[in-house]
Structure 1
Amino acid sequence: MDHTVRRDFERPFIEIRISGELDVMSSSNRIGELRTNKHYREGMNLLFDLRSAQLHSLDIEYMNTLRSNVAHVPAVDSKPGDPGTRRVAFLVANESDEMVMKLYKEMLDLSPGTPVREREIFMSYAAAVSWIGGAAHSVSDRAAESGRAS
């Protein structure tokens, strides 16, 4: 897992790139690593780039275990569409991966106890980044921002 905090957008988010085969232990470890990262803030939007992941290795047991892990994440009192509701984007490489992630998304959306999140699946990086981060700051915006921070 590799991740980057993207602050160059209207809404900062963490971009998480996952590659290779997925298993329950490595996925649980990834979640733990992310939560202890110094740049992670509770409620940050997340972009999971799964284009290099082997999603065909997912099965219902794996999805149930991840759902259980997600249920332990502190919930935010909000509904999808409310300002401040965490957004989670899943970026996939092809239609078969999109179908796998739709199943996982529906499982999360319908499971009691799962924190409220806006979740979407994309096959376009630009569309995913736009949805999760909003408008990109221009170079002059970032310069002005860093000048204000001093």
Structure 2
Amino acid sequence: MDRLRSILKSPRLSISILILLTVLGLILYFTYPLKIHHVLRHTDNIESVHVTYMSNGKFTDYLLTKDQGIHFNEFIQIMDENTYTRKFNTFQGGSGDAILMTVFYKEKDGESNNYLVDIRELGIIISHKKEYTINGDSKQLVNKLVDWIMSK
């Protein structure tokens, strides 16, 4: 019993356990699947969305507003079909289709605010200056979003 106490009081063991717990925590942090509400954070009270769709070197702009009768919960449902994981590195650019959005929403106090969302066919979404990996078919996600946007 005394030997066990002395082993547990050992600084080496304490440091090793602390390092192991830190590594396990980081692995869990970067691999735990998140729903879209954790990625976008502000999915309620969306007033309008300015969309720039980039495809084959062409840029197409759309403005979707609540006044047009658009229900943004459909947009959230499409995004919620996939899960997302945090990325450690930062986006260095790439090819393929992309959807750039500026989402305008009302805070609980009634003040207007906005944030940027960058969705890449490569399987990357950038929101609130954080990068996430799209778990699932990112090309299909972009196509569904484009179809939804064009139908409005």
Q: TM-score w.r.t. structure 1 length?
A: 0.24
Q: Which has the higher strand share?
A: 2
Larger-gyration structure (1/2): 2
> Bigger relative contact order, structure 1 or 2, given CA contacts below 8 A and separation 6+?
1
Q: TM-score w.r.t. structure 2 length?
A: 0.24
